[in-house]
A and B are shown apart, each in its own frame.
Chain A
Amino acid sequence: MIEMKVISKRFGKVDPLSIDSYIKHDGYKGLEKAISNHPSHIIDEVEKSKIRGRGGAGFPTYIKVRALSKEAGKKYIVCNADEGEPGNFKDRMIMENDPHSVIEGMIIMAYATGAEQGYIYIRGEYQIAMNIMKETIKQAKDKGFLGKNIFNKGFNFEIEIRSGAGSYVCGEEFSLIESIEGKPGRSRTKPPFPTEKGIHNLPTLINNVETFANFPYIITIGGDKFAQIGTNSSTGTKLISLSGNVKKKGLYEVPFGTSIRDVIFKLGKGVKDDRKIKMVQLGGASGPIIPEYMLDMSIDFDRFENFDSKTGTGAIIVIDDRFDIFDILLTNMKFFVHQSCGKCAPCREGHIQIVNLLNKFINHRATEKDLMSLENLANVIQQTSLCGLGQTSMTSIISSLRYFRDDYFAKVRY
């Protein structure tokens, strides 16, 4: 069995709209255990677990949590449920199937850090998840898990839902903060980081939905035990959104260290109509495109760092040999043209230029000079953009120049 169901173990088994059903399936046990200990103990457990963020970048979670706990005064906890990266649907699945696990994770973090206000920022397109999360918050309040003086421990915590309104960049931390404040989602320069100056310039912890859903489990089994799952650099399990030309698209949960090939062939049952794989895009539109011969690579943040991108969301998009790499690249780049917030020139102008260059290749009008221009421009956008959007959007171009160079040469006019 290559699957290991930890975060998805209750999917289909609990009634998402019933807190009693969740409690019957060991729900809120992690919270119960958490509050019987000192808050600093929880942060120690998170550190021992070695968990890294599930939103893409794979940043060690305990560093942010500890930083927030050290801040005095009013502070915020935000669950990032913006999930706009094409190819991802894991956060939606968590919210639709086991919403209380997210709330439980947020309450544990509130207790650990002393934050009294939480937000869940859900992309506007996720109407079903939004309604479920609203109901879930109401139920948790009625049971006394949210509100004032929770478990008679003298700690207070409230959660509000905020809706996105159709903007991919709002998944980026500072854009998200701007959006929660009711403004256009244009990013800010870092530092200061959100844990220092976030919402209303107050300390703010932002974590992904899947990251929050992991906390109850970490507390229940203990950080050391959690750290034994997966690999040295990437502990625990990962939800994988498998899509594209596979026989069985869907959500799968595997321990870190599982190979991409196994996910595609053992869980996804291989390629539709038994065609050949031409390429696989990892993470989403801002992730790398790799050739078939690299599929034995394991799902591991350290491996993903070679591409310095948001590969760690766990999306695997399989593309068979009927497709041309330029069609895929053009689709990705048009996405970024639409999604650029326009604040900085490399991203605002650069993506348009990249689209023009790609069209030259597609129309067989590109020269070797255009190939060099494409390569240079991609590097400039990556290195000089203000926020994570422009810093990661070039990953598919840069990786394709590395692994599919022949496809470029085949289109160059000499």
Chain B
Amino acid sequence: MNQIKEILNKYPKEEEYLIEILLEFQASKKNHYISSEDVSVISKYLNIPESQVCSVISFYTMLSMSPKGKYVIQVCHDVPCFVNSANNIYDKLVEELGVEDGETTEDKLFTLEITECLGRCNESPVMRVNDKVFVNLTPAKVEKIINDLRGENK
């Protein structure tokens, strides 16, 4: 609760800070989502209806109201990555994690998502794990990244 207050107090009580607040709320959560309690706290703080907060969350793909894994893995599939074998990267992730686009592993460690261009097409194919971008991927590199992350959580 204190952490929530701390975040809110950084922002003026103005509607225009809603997206900034939501992003910071979400970043502070280990499951990368905004709960319905959060929505009600934020709507009270900004003095706007809860429905307005929800409509913003549902519009922006980076915001979510359902919990995700500890690591959100986003693989780019737009044309510059597609023609550099991005499909093989996605297939390798499916093989490693046993889940597909939009799904979370049973141990709640990984969520796999297909995403749009990450602006790193000069180093394609590319994926993002939370805030970190991995570039010039090969299936072997993907395997290592996943194994390393699993190792850290043993």
**A-to-B contact residues, CB < 8 Å:** 83-89, 92, 123-127, 162-168, 179-186, 241-245, 249-251, 281, 285, 317, 319-320, 323, 327-328, 331-332, 335, 338-339, 341
Which 7 pairs between the two chains have the least Cβ-Cβ distance?
A166-B62, A165-B60, A166-B61, A184-B59, A86-B117, A86-B78, A243-B121
Q: Which A residues are CB-close (under 8 A) to B131? A: 127
Q: Which B residues are CB-close (under 8 A) to A251? A: 122
Q: Which B residues are CB-close (under 8 A) to A243? A: 80, 121-122, 124
Is A317's CB under 8 angstroms from B62's CB? Answer: no
Q: Which B residues are CB-close (under 8 A) to A85? A: 117
Q: Which B residues are CB-close (under 8 A) to A341? A: 59
Of the residues A167, A179, A241, contact of B122 by C-beta under 8 Å = A241
Is A182's CB under 8 angstroms from B116's CB? Answer: no
Beyond A168-B116, A179-B19, is A87–B59 a contact (Cβ under 8 Å)?
A: no
Q: Which B residues are CB-close (under 8 A) to A186? A: 59
Determine, out of B10-18, B104-112, B146-154, the stretch whose residues face the partner at the interface. Answer: B10-18
How far, in whole Å, are A319 and B123 apart by their CA atoms in the complex?
A: 16
Is B79's CB under 8 angstroms from A241's CB? Answer: no
How far, in whole Å, are A95 and B140 apart by their CA atoms in the complex?
A: 32
How far, in whole Å, are A186 and B55 apart by their CA atoms in the complex?
A: 12
Q: Which A residues are CB-close (under 8 A) to B14? A: 182
**B-to-A contact residues, CB < 8 Å:** 14-20, 22-23, 55-56, 59-63, 77-80, 82-84, 116-124, 128, 131
Beyond A92-B119, A184-B55, is A244–B79 a contact (Cβ under 8 Å)?
A: yes
Of the residues A181, A242, A335, contact of B116 by C-beta under 8 Å = A335
Of residues A83, A163, A243, which shows the largest number of chain B Cβ atoms within 10 Å of its Cβ?
A243
Q: Which B residues are CB-close (under 8 A) to A320? A: 83
Of residues B16, B19, B23, which shows the largest number of chain A Cβ atoms within 10 Å of its Cβ?
B19
Is A165's CB under 8 angstroms from B63's CB? Answer: yes
Is B116's CB under 8 angstroms from A89's CB? Answer: no
Chain A residue at minimal CB-CB distance from B121: A243
How far, in whole Å, are A89 and B119 apart by their CA atoms in the complex?
A: 5
Is A244's CB under 8 angstroms from B80's CB? Answer: yes
Q: Which A residues are CB-close (under 8 A) to B79? A: 86-87, 244, 281, 285, 317, 319, 328, 331-332
State the Cβ distance, B77 to closest chain A Cβ, in Å: 7
Q: Which A residues are CB-close (under 8 A) to B61? A: 165-167, 338
How far, in whole Å, are A245 and B19 apart by their CA atoms in the complex?
A: 37
Is A167's CB under 8 angstroms from B59's CB? Answer: yes
Q: Which A residues are CB-close (under 8 A) to B59? A: 167, 184-186, 341
